[in-house]
Structure 1
Amino acid sequence: MMTSLNRLARRRPHRSGGFTAGIVGAAILLAVPAVGAQSWPPAPPAVEEIDAWVEDAMTRWEVPGMGLAIVHKGESFLATGYGVRELGKPERVDGGTLFSIGSCSKAFGAATLAALVEDGRLSWDDRITDHVPWFRLHDPWTTREIRIRDIVTHRVGTGSNQPLRPLVVDRRDYLKRLPYIEPAHQFRDHYGYTNDMLVLTGHLVETVSGTDWDSYARERLWNPLGMTTTTARMGPANASPNHAEPHAIVQRRFEGDAATTGMPLEPVPWQYAEDVTVPSGGVITSADEITEWMRLHVGTHPNPPLSASSVALMHTPHTVIRNPSSWMPFEGPGAYAMGWSTGRFGNITAVGHGGNALGFNCSIALAPEHGFGVWATTNRNSELPWVLTKWALARFLGDEELRGRDWHAEHERQVADGNRRVLDAQMARRAARLDRGPSVPLETYVGTYRNGYAGELRVRLTDAPVPPLMPAEGRLGRWDGTPGLHERPAADASAGTDGSGSANGPAGSAGEPTGELRLVAEFDGRERPIRMPLEHWHVDRFDAWFGDVRIGVSFILDDMARVTGVEMDYYGRFERVP
């Protein structure tokens, strides 16, 4: 009984008090033997228990392959892989298999800034315009006052402008277009997740260091940590004989979330606009090497490239999060720190992040005070990494209540709720559809339109076939992929669908005219023009499909039935060029 009492005593913060209070407290403990019998932290699970849990979970979530790393008491406990690197091929995932980790990269972005601060090359409170004089946002006051610590704490208000990624030529081009959009919320008013400011982080690091972000991260972080195969470049990763292939759902225009099970998967090309968005996402690493990153953040790495005070600052709350997202490793109110989210998970303080890219999901969760970390990644878009990290936190460090929860069921309910909202919105959209054709002949819509944000939009009338675009990353308007780049030749399953899940790739796919005139919207893309057939919805409203993301296109007519502009989802209003 004394052993249990001592364990319980260690759970409680020390409070000064008299002898009488101590006697009363002991009497209460003795009166509740069931509580006294609990132990904390629990004994760690055997590797065999973890293996069995993961293999069952991969079947439940229909995941081809997974990487897993666990640090316990500051040392590597497990770094391994499960399943296959690519469906239909025998090669297995192991501890050295490379995966893209999406927004789990953001912590690396913050760390490169911390390295520059430690080297005296900038300060957290420097203005951005001190180092990037041409930088502008929509609001002049925000442009003047934004500081370096603001851009890694999700409080600037820019939102995330992923639709720009396929249109811009480089990171500077991306950032130059931000003044054309109004903020999603006021500067420093509240938490608002943004990829844009981590794009700015990459440009800032490159400007100050004089080298590209990948090279700087390698020299300043990865090499000292022993992370020799970690990279932010798809080329070296794809050239490695040990890398996972991303997988996506075959039906391109299904309604629902990318984590949905019960739909066929296929390997798809790696897609990421690395020279634009790194380090918002795009870091590629393995279980073996992420272990060293976690050891840095729990304070036990033998060769830390950053000071303990810099690491602690990156974990320190900066921006309040009232309602955490499912990828965050805590429950109830928490905060965003610098490249990390943080809050209470049961009786511990957890620090972590989630990430996704086309065909990859990642989760990392740390309990630095306990020397614990867990990282999980899959080669399909799935909630499983977030389920696994919560299960591991609970299993290694949680109380009885946390260990008894069905994390699978909780996340499955969240996916189902999200899908239901999508379906409800689609049903409402269909109910509002008017049974009316275009108000003017199709050739009347033909022309060139322009805005400062997206550039030039050309609308043409053609009977030529339009090759389908690869899927954009995820669903519900996420655009981390760059459709049309790095395509697999003759990928039949990449054809579009009619919205019901049945494939209907474009006629004349061999290059023959179809004989049917259709409107096509065209942007200048990163490597070649991006063409999207316009499917009539009603009156002057059409739908374009960018991979698997629907874009509403509404033509604007004046009183004389002249087409004067276009309103386009994600891209705003375009004025017709005379």
Structure 2
Amino acid sequence: MAAKRALLAIGLALASSVAAAADPPTSAQLDSVVDAVMARYHLAGLAVGVIDHGEVVYTRTLGERVAGSGQAITNDTLFKIASNSKAMTSTLLARLVQEGKLRWDDPVRRYLPDFRMADPWVTEHMQVGDLLTHRSGLREGAGDLMLWPEPNDFTRQDIVHGLAYLKPAYSFRAGYAYDNLLYVVAGEVAAAAGHDHYETLLRREVFEPLGLARCQIGAWNRDAVGNVAEPHEREHDRNVVINADDAEIPNITSAPAGGVRCSLTDMLSWARNWLAPTPQQLQWLTPEQRQIVWTPYTPMPISAQKRAWNGTRFYAYGYGWRIADMDGVFTVSHTGTLSGMYSAMMLLPERKAGFVILMNSEAEDARTVLIEALTKQFTSPNDAHDANWFADQLDRASSTAREAAKPPVSQAAKVDDLRSQLGRWRDPWFGTISLCPQGDAVRFVAAKSPRLAGTVMRAGQRYLVHWDHGDTDAWLSFPTDAKGVLHMSKIDPQADFSSDFEDLSFHREHGCG
């Protein structure tokens, strides 16, 4: 631990005195960034808030909660913050540590006796802190098909059970690969140690003490709460709602990994608690626990883009936070990504500055541009590159990726061609699927994930499944003998890692009928 805290001290020392002394960005400068991104990406809705020297100095909201509705985004509109929920889960655990209800180095099995990883040694030695640091040995996004697409029928108990069947991609604590399942496990550890449901604990231990009055977790009524943004995607030059909420919003299995919804006002309060905590907040979460969650535990790869744009030399994951230097300035941040919803929080602790971004559009590049252009206002205010320059750079990179990811030409597979492969198949963690005729087509249907249903297509000598709901299409690799294994893989290797078809191994149980 001493060595890790020394690394944190090195990271803090990177903060430049120039950035700390720089004049605050003006509202006109911030408006220029926000307006450029809104116009460039035609976002359905956007909320941005900026903090400097511990005070909120800027908020801006644009667009609509539902495109075409006339319902304007406000500072109190609720957005899905997705993986920005992870820092709240780690903070809940920190509160329980502070209360003496658990220890960071406790074995997970002390709280969850049924917890198993594929390797028995890892099972016994996985500690509570390991759940939060993306160094378990699992492949990036392993098992995420138990979380998404929603809705599905997987429970948190299914996840605890399924982990034993996910094969490691590297050695325990030997590298970085982002995962969501172990944050769900962390939520279950909190529930066991705190003797209450994760959702109840998060409200009691985090939302209420910090006054995050609009934040929601668990089951709630959309219309009773009100002012809720819906996710959108761009279709034929217009924004359309996708995955719209029902009036009764259910509790979701993925909540500890990415299930919180908050407003801009809430998220700015959450950020200020980290940048300029009051005496009461320092009692609520002590400086010791704050330092622990911001300690860099797992080195992360530094992309060529980060090196070129920000001169990043240090990049690591703490407990629910990413820790890095940007233009020589120490930063703590995270992003959140769900279909049609993107969020970001960037903190510059030495200056007590930072910002929050919330959007209800399928627009990863828009978020990246906002993060870069807003961060430069603090770390390199004389940088000549504006928001459109960053957007142009991303466009050039993504055009090459889009060309490589074009779907193959295919047609519906004939039932007779797949007669020997039809039937019910089972994977030990994902459960059963059926590959059975429906009219002249062969349909793929997942028993516990209703959105993973689609038509089997043939492309040359290969087969794929084209999903009904627009999820990432997948190759089907059929076995050559009756006892063989059916494997799957993403057609687009650059697709979201949560489409982790590569971890599936299906054995045929019986035929259709």
TM-score between the two structures when normalised by the length of structure 2: 0.84
Shift of 1:112: 0.7
Aligned to 2:53: 73
**Partner secondary structure for residue 124 of structure 1:** coil
Q: How far apart, CA to CA, are the structure 2 residues paired with 1:205 and 1:385?
A: 31
Q: 1:397-437: per-residue Cα shift (whole Å, max 9, x none)?
A: 22355x3233443354335424422422447x66xx9x998
The 5 A counterparts of 1:95-494 are: 95-158=75-138, 159-160=140-141, 161-165=143-147, 168-233=153-218, 235-237=220-222, 239-250=224-235, 263-270=237-244, 274-301=251-278, 303-304=280-281, 305-324=284-303, 331-382=312-363, 383-395=365-377, 397-401=378-382, 403-414=383-394, 416-426=396-406, 441-463=417-439
Query: In the alignment, residue 355 of structure 2 is paired with which amino acid?
Result: V
Query: In the alignment, residue 480 of structure 2 is paired with which amino acid?
Result: L
Shift of 1:39: 8.6
Aligned to 1:574: 506
The 5 A counterparts of 1:51-90 are: 51-90=31-70
Q: How far apart, CA to CA, are the structure 2 residues paired with 1:539 and 1:275?
A: 40
CA distance 1:370–1:237, shift in 2 (3 Å): farther
Report if the CA contact (8 A) 1:318-1:337 is conserved. Answer: yes
Q: 1:521-540: per-residue Cα shift (whole Å, max 9, x none)?
A: 122136x6853221222346
- Aligned: 1:543 with 2:465: yes
Shift of 1:193: 1.1
Shift of 1:278: 1.4
Query: In the alignment, residue 272 of structure 2 is paired with which amino acid?
Result: R
Shift of 1:325: 9.3
Query: In the alignment, residue 504 of structure 2 is paired with which amino acid?
Result: G
Report if the CA contact (8 A) 2:19-2:329 is conserved. Answer: no
Q: How far apart, CA to CA, are the structure 1 residues paired with 2:304 and 2:251?
A: 25
Report if the CA contact (8 A) 2:234-2:362 is conserved. Answer: no
Greater mean deviation of Cα atoms: 373-382 or 166-175? 166-175
Shift of 1:338: 1.0
Query: In the alignment, residue 231 of structure 1 is paired with which amino acid?
Result: Q
Q: How far apart, CA to CA, are the structure 2 residues paired with 1:105 and 1:266?
A: 25
Q: How far apart, CA to CA, are the structure 2 residues paired with 1:418 and 1:568?
A: 25
Shift of 1:238: 5.8
Q: 1:359-414: per-residue Cα shift (whole Å, max 9, x none)?
A: 1111100011211121011111223233223322321x22355x323344335433
Report if the CA contact (8 A) 2:413-2:457 is conserved. Answer: no
Greater mean deviation of Cα atoms: 79-88 or 371-380? 79-88
Aligned residues: 471
Report if the CA contact (8 A) 2:46-2:360 is conserved. Answer: yes
Greater mean deviation of Cα atoms: 294-303 or 450-459? 294-303
Report if the CA contact (8 A) 2:52-2:354 is conserved. Answer: yes
Shift of 1:563: 8.5
Shift of 1:125: 0.5
CA distance 1:419–1:301, shift in 2 (3 Å): farther
CA distance 1:219–1:446, shift in 2 (3 Å): same
Q: How far apart, CA to CA, are the structure 1 residues paired with 2:110 and 2:181?
A: 19
CA distance 1:574–1:406, shift in 2 (3 Å): same
Work out which of the residue numbers 440, 443, 459 in structure 2 matches 1:520: 443
Report if the CA contact (8 A) 1:438-1:539 is conserved. Answer: no
Aligned to 1:531: 453
**Partner secondary structure for residue 164 of structure 2:** helix
What is the Cα-based RMSD across aligned positions, in Å?
A: 3.1
Report if the CA contact (8 A) 1:292-1:301 is conserved. Answer: no
Query: In the alignment, residue 459 of structure 1 is paired with which amino acid?
Result: L
Q: How far apart, CA to CA, are the structure 2 residues paired with 1:13 and 1:444?
A: 64
CA distance 1:344–1:115, shift in 2 (3 Å): same
Query: In the alignment, residue 572 of structure 1 is paired with which amino acid?
Result: L
Shift of 1:200: 1.1
Q: 1:453-473: per-residue Cα shift (whole Å, max 9, x none)?
A: 22112121112xxxxxxxxxx
Report if the CA contact (8 A) 2:340-2:362 is conserved. Answer: yes
Shift of 1:280: 0.9
CA distance 1:86–1:439, shift in 2 (3 Å): closer
Shift of 1:327: 9.6
Q: How far apart, CA to CA, are the structure 2 residues paired with 1:229 and 1:211?
A: 21
Report if the CA contact (8 A) 2:412-2:456 is conserved. Answer: no
Q: 1:24-77: per-residue Cα shift (whole Å, max 9, x none)?
A: xxxxxxxxxxxx9x8963322332442343123201121121111222111222
Aligned to 2:5: none
Report if the CA contact (8 A) 1:450-1:577 is conserved. Answer: yes
Name the structure, 1 or 2, with higher relative contact order (CA <8 Å, separation 6+): 2
Q: 1:272-325: per-residue Cα shift (whole Å, max 9, x none)?
A: 985311121121001111111111111334531311221122112111123159
Report if the CA contact (8 A) 1:80-1:288 is conserved. Answer: no
- Can you give the 5+ residue segments of structure 1 that lack an aligned partner in the other structure? 1-11, 15-35, 252-262, 464-516
Query: In the alignment, residue 226 of structure 2 is paired with which amino acid?
Result: P
Q: How far apart, CA to CA, are the structure 2 residues paired with 1:453 and 1:366?
A: 38
Shift of 1:268: 1.8
Q: 1:459-496: per-residue Cα shift (whole Å, max 9, x none)?
A: 21112xxxxxxxxxxxxxxxxxxxxxxxxxxxxxxxxx
Q: How far apart, CA to CA, are the structure 1 residues paired with 2:412 and 2:48?
A: 54
Shift of 1:566: 2.5
Q: How far apart, CA to CA, are the structure 2 residues paired with 1:64 and 1:76?
A: 24
CA distance 1:279–1:518, shift in 2 (3 Å): same
Shift of 1:326: 7.4
Shift of 1:551: 1.6
Shift of 1:208: 1.6
Query: In the alignment, residue 252 of structure 2 is paired with which amino acid?
Result: D
Query: In the alignment, residue 430 of structure 2 is paired with which amino acid?
Result: A
CA distance 1:301–1:39, shift in 2 (3 Å): closer
CA distance 1:407–1:53, shift in 2 (3 Å): closer
Q: How far apart, CA to CA, are the structure 2 residues paired with 1:338 and 1:13?
A: 20
Aligned to 2:30: 50
**Partner secondary structure for residue 275 of structure 1:** coil
CA distance 1:239–1:423, shift in 2 (3 Å): farther
Greater mean deviation of Cα atoms: 404-413 or 545-554? 404-413
Q: How far apart, CA to CA, are the structure 1 residues paired with 2:29 and 2:464?
A: 53
Shift of 1:131: 1.0
